[in-house]
Every structure is written in structure tokens, then in C-alpha cells.
Amino acid sequence: MLVSEIMLQQTRVEAVIPFYQAFLARFPDAATLAGAAEEDVLTAWAGLGYYSRARNLRAAARRVASWLIRSAGSASSASANADTPTPRRR
């Protein structure tokens, strides 16, 4: 997962494991991370340093969540249009 890759940059695995587990417990998916306040993300990141990584991870989650919402909207619009009968000319 991207979170572990970012946390493990310049940090030992043994040091990261408890931070990783706590972070995923707090932010289990991209939507949760995207909707979190920056301060909450930085608090969960505390102890790992390089806080710009936490900000960038949250920004990435926001982009992913936005893309998923747009994709779901497009899919449901296409589905709704497919279910709507086409008017016939008389």
C-alpha cells in the first residue's frame, strides 16, 4: 500500500509498524483520509517526521476520492440513460 511505502522512506520497518497500524485504524481508506482535517492527519503522522509526506498523502487521497466520485457519477449516469426509453417518432 502507498501508505507503507511513504512511511518506510528513510525509516526502519520496526519503527514504522505501530505508526502504520494506528494510521490505518484511523484512516482505513482513501475517502476517510481525504475527508480528514489536515491537523488530524498530521497528528496521526506525529513521530515519523517529514510532515510534507503526510500532507502529500492526504492530497493524493483527495484526488483519488474525487476521481472515484466522478467515475461513479459517470457510471450511474450512463446506467440511468440506458434504462430510459428513447422517445419514438410518430
Catalytic residue among 5, 14, 38, 39: 5
SS (H, E, C) the chain: CHHHHHHCCCCCHHHHHHHHHHHHHHCCCHHHHHHCCHHHHHHHHCCCCCHHHHHHHHHHHHHHHHHHHHHHHHHHHHHHHHHCCCCCCC
14 is catalytic: no
Contact assessment for residue 24 and residue 4, using Cβ atoms and an 8 Å cutoff? no
Query: Which amino acids are annotated catalytic?
Result: 5
